[in-house]
Each structure stands twice: as structure tokens, then as C-alpha cells.
A = this chain, B = another copy of it.
Amino acid sequence: MNDILLMLPGPTTVHPRVLNAMSQAVVNHRGAKYGEILTETTELMSKVFQTPNNSYLLTGSGTAAMEAGIANTVAPGEKMLNVVGGKFGERFMKIAQTHGIDAKELAVEWGTAVTPQAIKEALDEDEDIKAVSVIHNETSTGVAAPIEEIGKVMKNYDALYIVDTVSSLAGDEVNVEKFGIDVCLTGSQKCIAAPPGMAAITFSDDAWAAAEKVETNTFYLDMKAAKKSGDKVPPQTPYTPSVSLTYAMNEALKMVIEEGIDNRVARHHKAAKASVAAVKALGLELFADEAVSSATVTAVKMPEGITDDQFRGTTRDKYGVELAGGQDHLKGNIFRIGHMGNISYKELTQTFAAIGMTLKGLGVIDDAGAGVSSIAESYL
């Protein structure tokens, strides 16, 4: 299983340094040693979120952090606005509904991004909106929302600003303090490039103030319990954490800081730009509006006349490159190239060579090398 190159919008290929860290002996999660590792890891997390506030690790997926983000800050019956332009926007809607929140949808055409103006109008229309959720990087469509500009709008309203940066943090610009984000959450297995299974979240003072008023109906994801345990000496998690994934996150975050957040983001933007150019060089069409296309995943329309199985089956089984398909109504209509984490020209050359060979083999294109040649030009 080591031979498959994962070019997915998560999980991403994990560096041996991180895998080695993860396989260290498990320590007592209530002891001083784990307390040290936890403190260091959450401090690294806050550095990457770019916030002076504390961060918390959750043993669970990004979805667990999404649920923690809203179920602790918006009470049942209260109104929140969710930007929905893809599968993860829909997920915030469903989570809100599950918790009895009055969930309003701000629908955006899939493949395009919400505008700050649209959010301003929605907030002006309804002053009962207690929170707004935005997916920074909608992995289902390959679109990045303008979270900095939205943040400028949000500063004029009392509503909490909740941002899912699961597939963007450490790969695209996210500055929690500067952008005025109240609740920011992420996952381990995307641009941070640790294995999946852990999530992280940070709350602003306003978010904590809201949480104080909410009698939450989640126990495992109760953030007030997380805070109480985090404040203990030594710091703890309320329930048993994944100790091994804490080690992995610790090492992966150290690698992020060693590289430098800005350098890492620039590297992701470069990979995105190179991927877009290579897609065009192959004569393929982008799914997302190029002006708002993601730094970490490129969504491409599936060429006419071939199936998802033919295309992705071949790149995976014949050429060892695993790409993502479309989700829900986009199944079979698009494929997605994840370029997050430890991504360089090496992975992209293999990927676009595989895509080119597959498409030529299927009779879709004539020049198998146009994509990979474009990657070389981009990285020259």
C-alpha cells in the first residue's frame, strides 16, 4: 500500500518523520508527560491558526470539530446562516438542524464562491442571525471563499463568524485574529499532513461568551468541558485522547513551523497554479470558477465519453495515483486533484503524467505529455 500516491483532498501522504513520531510508546494521558506534549501541540496549533487564543484538540474527524463549533455556540432555536456552495456547506446545515438550530441557507452555485456583499445583505435582512458559517475551502467543488473580505463585513455585526478551514489551514491564507474569526476549526489530514483522526478548534472571547449561554446537547464535543480540562495542571482532554495522533500532530505542526507558514502557503498556491495550467494544457476544463479556485484542490470536468471508473480506476491501478471523484450530483461529472501537504513538482509530475497517459490510453487526447510538460514549465 506504500506505492499509491494519494492526490486526494485528504488524507494526504504522511511524512516518515510523522509516522515515526506516531509509533512512539503511548504515555498516560493524565500525566505530566502528556500534558507537556499537549501544551506544545496546542500552542503550535494556535501559531498556525494565527491566534493568541487557546486551541483544543479533538479526537475525531473535521466533522466532529464542525459539530463542536456550532453546537456549543448556537442554542437550539437560535438562528444561524450557513453558506452552502458544496457538500461541506450542506453539512453545516445538517449539523445545525440536528441540534435544533434554526438553520438558514445562503445558497451559492456550486463551483462559485460566496461574496462578502451577499453575506452583508443577509445580515441586514435579518438581525436575529446569531452566527454565520463559511467553508473556507469547499473541497467538493475546489472553491475558496474570500474569508478575509467576509471578515471585514462580519466586524460590523454581532453575529459570530464561524469558519471551517479543514482543507485550507497551512495551505491557504488563514489568520484567525486578523480576519476576525470567532470559531475556526481544522483537521489533521489535510494541509497539516498528519494522519486522519484528529481535529483542532479555537474560540474567540465572543465565542466563549456565547458558549457560556448555550446549554449544549453534545457531551463528547462539549467545549466547556474541553476548556475546563485544558486549564488543569497538567493540561488534559476531558476524555481519553488519541495519544498517538497527538504525537503525529505535534511533529507535523513542527514541520509546518520549520517551513514557515507563509512559505508553505506560497508552495500550495504554486502547486494550484501549476495544476490549473496543466489541466488547461491537457485541453481539460476546470469545474470551479478560476478566479476563486482553491489553493489545495483542483476540480476538473470529466471528459465526455469516459466514466469515473475508467479514468480514476486507471490512474490508480495502472499508474499508482489516487485521485478523488465527484460527490453527490457531481459523481462521475468531475474529478479532483488534491495538492495539499507535502506537495512539490515531484508529485504533480507523476500525477499529470498519469492523467495524460490515462486519457491518451482512453482515446480522449493525443498528447499524453502536455500536462506534465506544463508542470515542468511552471516549476522551472
Chain A residues close to B by CB (< 8 Å): 1-2, 4, 6, 8, 10-11, 13-14, 19-20, 22-31, 33, 59-64, 67, 94-95, 98-100, 187, 189, 195-198, 216-222, 238-245, 248, 316, 322, 324
Q: Please tell me if the beta carbons of A244 and B64 are within 8 angstroms of each other in the complex.
A: no
CB contact between A6 and one of B26, B217, B240 (< 8 Å): that residue: B26
Min distance, Cβ A106 to any Cβ of chain B, angstroms: 20
CB contact between A24 and one of B1, B26, B61, B64 (< 8 Å): that residue: B1
Q: How far is the CA of A58 from the CA of B282 in the complex (A)?
A: 41
In chain B, what residue has the closest Cβ to A95? B219
Q: A11-B243, A197-B241 are in contact. Are A23 and B26 (CB under 8 A)?
A: no
In chain B, what residue has the closest Cβ to A10? B240
The 8 A-B residue pairs with the shortest CB-CB distance, nearest first, are A197-B242, A23-B23, A63-B239, A61-B239, A61-B240, A195-B244, A19-B23, A98-B219
Q: Please tell me if the beta carbons of B1 and A240 are within 8 angstroms of each other in the complex.
A: no
Q: A64-B239, A219-B98 are in contact. Are A195 and B26 (CB under 8 A)?
A: yes
What would be 20 A-B contacts, judged by CB atoms less than 8 Å apart? A6-B26, A13-B26, A19-B24, A23-B23, A26-B189, A28-B322, A29-B196, A59-B64, A62-B239, A63-B240, A64-B239, A94-B219, A98-B216, A98-B219, A189-B240, A197-B244, A218-B218, A220-B221, A242-B245, A244-B244
Q: Please tell me if the beta carbons of B61 and A244 are within 8 angstroms of each other in the complex.
A: no
Most B C-beta atoms less than 10 A away, residue of A94, A95, A187, A196:
A196
In chain B, what residue has the closest Cβ to A8? B28
| Complex contacts, A60 vs chain B, CB 8 Å | 59-60, 64, 220, 239
Q: A59-B60, A98-B219 are in contact. Are A242 and B195 (CB under 8 A)?
A: yes
Indicate how many identical chains form the complex: 2
Min distance, Cβ A214 to any Cβ of chain B, angstroms: 12
| Complex contacts, A94 vs chain B, CB 8 Å | 219
| Complex contacts, A29 vs chain B, CB 8 Å | 11, 196
Most B C-beta atoms less than 10 A away, residue of A19, A20, A23, A67:
A23
Q: How far is the CA of A50 from the CA of B24 in the complex (A)?
A: 32
Min distance, Cβ A14 to any Cβ of chain B, angstroms: 5
CB contact between A196 and one of B19, B98, B242 (< 8 Å): that residue: B242
In chain B, what residue has the closest Cβ to A327? B30
CB contact between A27 and one of B4, B61, B100, B242 (< 8 Å): that residue: B4
| Complex contacts, A10 vs chain B, CB 8 Å | 240
Q: Please tell me if the beta carbons of B61 and A196 are within 8 angstroms of each other in the complex.
A: no
Q: How far is the CA of A64 from the CA of B221 in the complex (A)?
A: 9
Q: How far is the CA of A59 from the CA of B239 in the complex (A)?
A: 13
